[in-house]
Structure formats: structure tokens, C-alpha cells
Amino acid sequence: MSFVFYDAETTGTHTAFDQILQFAAIRTDHELNELERFEIRCRLLPHIAPSPSAMLITGTTAGELIDPKLPTHYEMIRAIHGKLLSWAPTVFVGFNSLHFDEHLLRQAFYQTLHPIYLTNTGGNCRADAMRVVQMASIFAPGALVCPVDDWGENTFKLEHLARANGAAHLKPHDALGDVGATISLCRMLLERAPDIWSTFLRFSQKSSVHEYASAETVFSLSDFYHGRPYSWIVSLVGTNPSNRSELVVFDLAMDPNDLRDLHEDDLAARLAEFPRPVRRIRSNACPIIMLIDDAPDIASSKCLGRDELERRAQVLAEDEPLRNKLISTLEQIRDAKETSIYVEQQIYDGFYSPSDEEILHRFHDVAWKDRIQLIAKLEDRRLRELGLRLLYFERPEFLDDEVRQDIQMQTLGRLTQTQITDAWLTLPSAIQQTDELLITATGEEASCLREHRKLLLERMERLTATHVRV
């Protein structure tokens, strides 16, 4: 088994509306010995305003954002896609990647017309190193030093963990530096807590999670909220019929008999209350599950004893109508997902048709002048919109004047609007944020911010001039 550890540095923290600026990955063998490494940077996309605070954190200069010697975003994603495919099948590992880096990578693939599920299809699986660190903090607390924040809570930020444990971290918030630090922490756990590492790898595979939850009458489930650990002893209710990657489990702190005769409305109200008697497990997101014998003392129902927990689990297992009612009621109270008007946030709004997948497979191998015809044949409106935008960024001369001007006006409206939006950062907001940071900045930080402010103003003036010409 090989591993690919990866990290991305970006223009900001919004996974749908920011972009990757730097990507790095290191491929290792099963003992975490390095086999190969890869690193690449790219230029800023025309429709994105970089966050000045993010640029300070990563040390990205204004000159690097527009350096003509760097590849375009599309060229970078082509290189990343090709390299990751050449390393497959493998286990892709990031740090906090399931909440951030993987979504960024999927968006990058989506917006450049590549298949988006590279890390968990084709024999690949994904894992998040932050989860194994969190697991170790509960089940092998001596394996790593877990630093605390200013409020006395455990912090699982990579930079703090690396410093506290003497892990190699030559340059924090640099993609390659963060990959190196992640591997160093994982090597420590492989050496000091091999059982934890083995369990982590086992449950990075969705099929193993399903098999385990089905085979064990009762088991321990743990998770973290705001750095604080929580744990429950649970039993499987079933699988969400509308999402096969989601398991539904019952917290055995409650007797299932107490829910059997509740009216649907009363049951819905009870399932929404804390502590929740029914919980969801994302089987493809490295859940922290262990044998009941290893359940930590913080597990709320551990005091009930093994016999009572087994009895409650048996009651649930023998009552199929109750299990079905729990699953259906849980789905009814789930917050409805509104369809976004922005194509970036429509990434999970349905799979592509076989004909569209065939077109996407050919798209990157034909000349740019021939891609406009392929875009027109796409059935999925999202892909047509993204394809035209990609052509505008890379080869606008192949678009007719009307389409080119329409995308130009969309870019102008997105970047120059004065109304603050939660979706993306605008140039006026970025300039304002820069000015606020400059009030207290000194030395190199102040110099860096002034250069970024100059770049932001130049882009604003250039876009305004373009609008006048149009």
C-alpha cells in the first residue's frame, strides 16, 4: 500500500469561490518512506480577489500572483490531475483535508472539467491525518503532545501540533512544508501507536466501516466539536437509503423502548433534541469507531454496563418497524438543501450523463479551437457554463464576441460590486481589508500589504476601463 500526502495553499478559505495557488504532494511506501514528491504553483484567476490576510499567512507576494512564468490555473490542474493519476491506486492523506483541501481539489477539477472524485474512486481511498491525531488523543494519549489554546482547549492545528511534537515543519503554511509536517506526525503515530494507525487506515475505507458496524452489536463512536472530544456507545440502525455512504446509529444511553410508541411529530421533536438519540456516521469520512471494550470513560452510557447495552441493542435489532421509522424521521428533520444560483455551489447537484463523461474524457486532448464544439454538445448546463468560462480564461479568441462580453461582464460584476457578499471576496472588500491590516502592520508585512493593495487597485482600474469600452 502506498500513500500520497498532499496539501494546498489558496487565495482564501471559501472552498467554492477561492482557488488553489500552490499544491504539493509526497508519495510514500506503507512505512511512510518517501518515494517521490511533486510541487506546483500557478497564477491568479481573473475572477478571484485574493484575501490579504491569506496572502500574509502563506507569504504569497503580489508579484507571484501575476508572474507570467507560472502556469495558469488550468495548466496547474492538468499537471496535478496527471500526477495523481500516475500514483493511483493509493491512499490520499491530507490534514483536515476532508473539510477543506479535498473540497478545494474537487472544485478545481470540477471547474476545469475533470472528474471530481479522483481521491475515492478507481481503487483509491482517502484519509484525514487530523482524525488519527484526534483518535490518538483519546485512545493513546501519550503518543503525541496535544497543545492547548488560550481557552485551555485542545487544538489540532497542524502548526501547533508540529511545534509541540518536534515534527519537521520547515515552513508553516507552505504546501510542501505542511505535507512534510503531516508525514512526520504520522510517522510518530505509526511508531508509538501502531494499533491506532492500523485502525485509522482500516476505517478510511468505506466498506470496512459498513462491515464493522453491521458485525458489531455495540461499538464506540467518538468525535470532536471545537476541539473537545465526545463519545457514545451505539448500535447500528441502518443505512440512509438516499445516501449509501451514511450510516444511522442509535445512542444506547437511551432505551429504544422509550421511542417505540411516540407519535411521528413527537419522535421528530425528540430526535432533534440534545442529547440526540440517533446519530449519523459518514462512512467515507474516517469515523472514529472502536470496540466497546475500548470505549473511553467519557462515553455517556458506559456506566450502564455491557449487559444492559447489549439488551438495548437487541431490542433495536429485533424491531425493524422502529428502525425504519427512526431513519425516515431523521430524514424528515434534516435541513433542506437549497439549490444555489452559483455554478460553483452546484458541484454535487447530480451526476453527469454517460455522454457528457465521454465528452469530458476527450475535451483535454483536442485543440483549443475544437473544444468550443464539444462544450456545445454537453447536456449538463453546469458543464457548459464552466466550459465557456474556462475557454474565456485560456483562449478567449475562440469565443464569439457576445459570449466573450457576457463572461467579461460577469467577471466585472463579481469583482467590483460594492455590496458585501458571503459567497466571494470582492475587490472593494479586499482593499478595505488591506487598509485595516495596514493600520497595525509593520516591516515586511506592511510592505507586502502595500504591494497587494497596489495590485488590487490596478485590477479595479483595469476592469472599470474594460467596462467603459464594452
Same domain, 154 and 288: no
Task: Name which of 282, 123, 125, 98 is nearest 205 in CA terms.
Answer: 125
Residue 67: which CATH number? 3.30.420.10
How does pLDDT run across 225-236, given as a tens digit for each residue? 988 999 999 999
Neighbour count for residue 2 (Cβ, 10 Å)? 14
Q: Are residues 45 and 167 in the same domain?
A: yes
Is there a single domain that holds both residue 364 and residue 459?
yes
* 124 within some domain: yes
Q: How many domains does the chain have?
A: 3
pLDDT for res 440: 97
Determine how many CB atoms are found less than 10 A away from the CB of residue 420: 10
Query: Are residues 151 and 292 part of one domain?
Result: no
For the stretch 181-206, pLDDT in tens is: 999 999 999 999 999 999 999 999 99
pLDDT at 317: 97
Domain at 266, CATH number:
3.30.1520.20
Q: Are residues 66 and 213 in the same domain?
A: no
Final residue of a structural domain among 277, 302, 332:
332
For residue 223, being part of any structural domain is answered with yes
120: DSSP letter: G
Does residue 50 fall inside a structural domain?
A: yes
Output the nine-digit C-alpha cell for 190. 505509526
DSSP-based helix, strand, coil % in the chain, nearest 5: 50, 15, 35
pLDDT digits (tens, 9 = 90+) for 112-142: 999 999 999 999 999 999 999 999 999 999 9
381 in a structural domain: yes
The verdict on residue 369 lying in a domain is yes
Per-residue pLDDT of 8-49, as tens digits, reads: 999 999 999 999 999 999 999 999 999 999 999 999 999 999
- One domain for residues 458 and 391: yes
Which of 198, 223, 256 finishes a domain?
198
Asked if the structure places residue 341 within a domain, the reply is no
List CB contacts of 350: < 8 A, sequence separation 6 or more.
380
In a domain, 344, yes or no: no
pLDDT at residue 441 greater than cutoff 90? yes
**Residues 192, 225: one domain?**
no
CA gap 130, 138 in Å, rounded: 13
CA separation for the pair 453, 457 (Å, rounded): 6
| Residue-number span of the structural domain to which 265 is assigned | 206-332
**Residue 470's pLDDT is what?**
45
Same domain, 324 and 464: no
Lowest mean pLDDT across 223-227, 315-319, 392-396: 223-227
Q: Does residue 125 sit within a domain?
A: yes
In this structure, are residues 433 and 426 in contact, taking their beta carbons and an 8 Å threshold?
no
Q: What pLDDT, on a 0 to 100 scale, did the predictor assign at position 464?
A: 83
Whole-prediction pTM: 0.96
Task: Check pLDDT > 70 for residue 457.
Answer: yes
Q: What is the pLDDT of residue 336?
A: 72
Q: Looking at the structure, do residues 7 and 150 belong to the same domain, yes or no?
A: yes
User: pLDDT class for 467, splitting at 50, 70, 90?
Assistant: low
165 with 104, same domain: the answer is yes
Domain boundary among 167, 198, 229: 198
| 210 and 164 inside one domain | no
Same domain membership, residue 239 and residue 370 = no
Q: How high is the pLDDT of residue 468?
A: 46
The reported pLDDT for the residue numbered 466 is 66
Closest CA to 47 of 389, 350, 317: 389
